[in-house]
Amino acid sequence: MAVLGAATGLLLLLVGIWRLYKLVKKRKNIKLKKNFKRNGGLLLQQQLSSSDGSIQKTKMFTSKELEKATDRFNDNRILGQGGQGTVYKGMLADGMIVAVKKSKIVDEEKLEEFINEVVILSQLNHRNVVKLLGCCLETEVPLLVHEFIPNGNLFEYIHDQKEEFQFSWEMRLRIATEVARALSYLHSAASIPVYHRDIKSTNIMLDEKFRAKVSDFGTSRSIAIDQTHLTTHVQGTFGYLDPEYFQSSQFTGKSDVYSFGVVLAELLSGQKPISYERPEDRRSLATHFILLMEENKIFDILDERLMGQDREEEVIAVANLARSCLNLNGRKRPTMREVAIELEQIRLSKGALHAQQSSKEL
């Protein structure tokens, strides 16, 4: 009898544990579904399904998958932090290394940016644009999963000088050309034209072969093919912001061109977009650069790491292109397609010149 009572008690205990487990699991599932809905899951599904078929399949990761991949978002896995959130290095179950972007506390505006970034990145397929692998909406704040880009961003290589790393002119010119190609693709070759709206050196990532990858599409906007501009409240980064856009609130493809011009000036000079070490009227690199160009003093601003590399003609050609991109009148700036073609020609002329010199030596 005692044995039967003990067995009955054990059975009741097991039933109680099972019911508790089911209750906890049910509550967890309710919470996951609540997070999914709050994080715009239904809206995102609607946006993706309403596409014309140009959008690539976006994987919906579970919170469990990404917690495991990032060791529960361990601080040791942090790759970088910014205004948009924190990026963690993760490893998926199949061994693939990824970057997991965890948004900050999400308000309605940030949520719209997140959904916008997923939808836009799902439409893009270019070797110089960071690839979106998927997202997760089951967590407190939404997560993006990107391909892992191992060598950091362009800003670090321009401004955090490392003696062991030779950031040569050839590499700078190639990176500039790759970014120009990516922007040209966004503006005129993507299935739906896209304005990036926040081009800067920290948003240009470098892969294992130091190839450029344009990233961070949170503030980007897709436009109709016949649309010439967007009227919107001003967003962007001080130092890269198109003055014409700042005054009119009208963003055009030429506004991205202006920001790219600032990146070119950074690559040429090694100086930051905004610096309080320069005189007040020259704190903006764009202004400082244009004034030196007008004074015919481009080599006064040239990054000292580029001295003695025998690239004078190419430097002048790129400097003139940067000056065109920084024209205060947007209509007088080249398009990104024209910029990409010009940079390609500068690189080709360099190759032809070297071939000519080699044949002479033979």
Could you confirm whether 207 is annotated as catalytic?
A: no
Angle, vertex CA 302, rays to CA 296 and CA 303, nearest 5: 170
The residue count of the chain comes to 362
SS3 of the chain: the string is CHHHHHHHHHHHHHHHHHHHHHHHHHHHHHHHHHHHHHCCHHHHHHHHHCCCCCCCCCEECCHHHHHHHCCCCCHHHEEEECCCEEEEEEECCCCCEEEEEEECCCCHHHHHHHHHHHHHHHHCCCCCECCEEEEECCCCCCEEEEECCCCCEHHHHHHCCCCCCCCCHHHHHHHHHHHHHHHHHHHHHCCCCEECCCCCHHHEEECCCCCEEECCCCCCEECCCCCCEEECCCCCCCCCCCHHHHHHCEEEHHHHHHHHHHHHHHHHHCCCCECCCCCHHHCEHHHHHHHHHHCCCHHHHCCHHHCCCCCHHHHHHHHHHHHHHCCCCHHHCCCHHHHHHHHHHHHHHHHHHHHHHHHHHC
Choosing from 71, 198, 216, 310, the catalytic residue is 198
Q: Give catalytic residues, as residue numbers.
A: 198
